[in-house]
Amino acid sequence: MSTEQGKAELAVDTPYSGDGYVEEPLVHGNLSFHDVTRLIAGHVEKKPPRAWYPVFFLALGALSIFGLMIGHLFWNGTGVWGNNSPVGWGFPIVNFVFWVGIGHAGTLISAILFLFRQRWRTGINRSAEAMTLFAVVCALSFPTIHVGRVWVIYWSLPIPNQMLMWPQFKSPLLWDVFAVSIYGLVSLLFWYVGLIPDWATMRDRAKTKVRQRVFGALALGWTGANRHWRHYERSYLILAALATPLVLSVHSVVSFDFAVSIVPGWHTTIFPPYFVAGAIFSGFAMVLTLMVLARSVYKLQNIITISHLEKMNIIILLTGSMVGFAYTTEFFIAWYSGVEYELFAFINRATGPYAWAYWTMFSCNVFAPQIFWFKKMRRSVPVMFTIAIFVNIGMWFERFVIVTTSLHRDYLPSSWDYFSPTWVDLLTLLGSFGLFFTLFLLFIRFVPMVAIAEVKGVMPQANPHFYDAESTQAVSTESPNAES
């Protein structure tokens, strides 16, 4: 199965045929099981495409800037940032919420879509989960460096310390420590469990001793035995069922950081669902950004098909509209509450000194995705890539607007100020992208980026009854492969 052939079939863009709704096959190009293995595992085995190297070194450069900025911060203290009274929570918390939001799409795709039997998730869940992990790593680094005295960060955990004191469990910031770190750990385990059959595939294809050893160790001796699959599938289902409330709780807890306070603009009950919708929205945009690039560079158009991307665009449209609804509701409630401070906070948001940020957020998040009402736009790769970038920008600005505009004009006009980031703030944000992309590029270099076993499981040949009716034809689909 050549990729050129696959491309040619992609060009024929008529997935819905006949009079009724016929579900489009999830894997295009008439691939056999072996083709799928070769297509996905092959990328881990051969040298990366030429484009990988410059991008990787760019990401590595940004990562070193991240390291330098953190070193600079530790040496000099948090005064190197723009955070100052009255805006005590500047870029670090904006970046934290931004990254942890992005880290929601992976688990949504792997857990919630799994429970809803959305089988199209198999094409994208592996990379979305990986992206989740790396986003959570980026997210966790910000509160860690934000505490100022990072060498006593363990005080935030229930570990005995020299003060003989325990963490303050009544603080939402501590709930955050638990929620985000547990989320990171659970995502890692979920990801690893999903990888076990694919590590075994890599092990069985390994040509060198080192690969055999490393993949052999990672595969834990997996042999695809049905007695194993039985517990494995059950475990996966339970993990999905547990990760679903977890993923919804994590961003709710993040929103409690704001909502439990009594700052006008933060103290709203709509925050938990609104944050969760925003998290899914931004996460899908980031998955889309990465997938559009990865599928074209790695020629995976037959596995991550245009219909996969279209379904993600529908979710972006849905969650983007939910976020827009939340923005409007906030305004209405601010007026309806009759609290003048609350109303001021919102009018100040839309018309005050940060109006530029507010309207950037509003247009990127609410207006831009509306283009996805049109099917042609949903299925156009350049359009969706542009919109995804807009959404990434817009969702960063959402957190910036929430944090900054609510703080910069507090109850006392004499302390009003205009927050501006310093060069350290900006370079740290840039650096966190370096960390994210470095990890992601290493992932696509060394780990099968699509769940091989799961994709095979949703192919028509995987259904044992596929062979009942058309057994002769089925044999011909599984043509004996000349190569290995």
Partner 1 sequence: MASEANTDRIHGVLGEFEHAGGLLRAARGVHEAGYKIFDAHSPFAIHGMDKAMGLGQSVLGYFVFGGAALGCYLGYFMQYWMGEVDYPINISGKPFFAIEPSIPIIFELTILFAVLTAVFGMFVLNKLPTPYNPLFYSKRFARVTDDGFFLHIESRDARFDKEASAALLRDLGAVNVEIIEDLGSREELESDGG
Segment 5 to 34, residues that bind partner 1, using CB under 8 A:
32-34
User: Which of these ranges, 8-16, 294-302, 336-344, 473-481, lies near partner 1 under the rule CB under 8 A?
Assistant: 473-481
Interface with partner 1 in residues 107-136 (CB under 8 A): none
Q: Does 185 bind partner 1 (CB under 8 A)?
A: yes
In the set 253, 326, 387, 447, which binds partner 1 (CB under 8 A)? 253
Q: Which amino acid is at 382?
A: P
Cβ 70 vs Cβ 482: under 8 Å:
no
Q: Does 97 bind partner 1 (CB under 8 A)?
A: no
Interface with partner 1 in residues 138-167 (CB under 8 A): 158, 164-167
Q: How many residues form the binding site for partner 1 (CB under 8 A)?
A: 75
Cβ 225 vs Cβ 163: under 8 Å:
no
Q: How far is the CB of 405 from partner 1 (least distance, A)?
A: 27
In the set 62, 140, 179, 300, which binds partner 1 (CB under 8 A)? 179
Q: How far is the CB of 108 from partner 1 (least distance, A)?
A: 16
3-class DSSP assignment, residue 417: coil
Q: How far is the CB of 193 from partner 1 (least distance, A)?
A: 6
Q: Does 246 bind partner 1 (CB under 8 A)?
A: yes
CB closer to partner 1, 28 vs 203: 203
Interface with partner 1 in residues 192-211 (CB under 8 A): 192-193, 196-197, 200-201, 203-205
Q: Which amino acid is at 54?
A: P
CB closer to partner 1, 95 vs 252: 252
In the set 14, 17, 162, 168, which binds partner 1 (CB under 8 A)? 168
Half-sphere exposure of 125 (CA within 13 A, CB side): 26
Interface with partner 1 in residues 439-468 (CB under 8 A): 452-454, 456-457, 461-468
CB closer to partner 1, 215 vs 281: 215
User: Which of these ranges, 44-52, 77-85, 98-106, 235-243, lies near partner 1 under the rule CB under 8 A?
Assistant: 235-243
Q: Does 231 bind partner 1 (CB under 8 A)?
A: yes
Residues 6+ apart with CB under 8 A from 130: 106, 191, 440, 443, 447, 449
In the set 8, 51, 150, 189, which binds partner 1 (CB under 8 A)? 189
List b or e across 12-30, with b for residues whose CB sees 16 or more CB atoms inside 10 angstroms: eeeeeeeeeeeeebbbbbe
In the set 256, 258, 274, 275, which binds partner 1 (CB under 8 A)? 256
Distance CA 391, CA 393 (A): 5
Torsion from C-alpha of 90, 92, 98, 99, nearest 10 degrees: 180
Q: How far is the CB of 189 from partner 1 (least distance, A)?
A: 5
Q: How far is the CB of 174 from partner 1 (least distance, A)?
A: 8
Note if the bond before 369 is cis, omega within 30 degrees.
no
Backbone angles phi, psi at 87, to 5 degrees: -95, 85
Q: Does 47 bind partner 1 (CB under 8 A)?
A: no
User: Which of these ranges, 8-16, 222-230, 274-282, 285-293, lies near partner 1 under the rule CB under 8 A?
Assistant: 222-230
In the set 245, 261, 416, 473, which binds partner 1 (CB under 8 A)? 245
Q: Long-range contacts for 239-242 (Cβ within 8 Å, ≥24 apart)?
A: 239/111, 239/186, 239/189, 239/190, 239/193, 240/110, 240/111, 240/112, 240/114, 240/115, 240/190, 241/111, 241/115, 242/186
Cα first-last separation, the chain: 14
String of DSSP letters for 147-192:
TS-GGGGGGGTT---TT-----TT-HHHHHHHHHHHHHHHHHHHHH
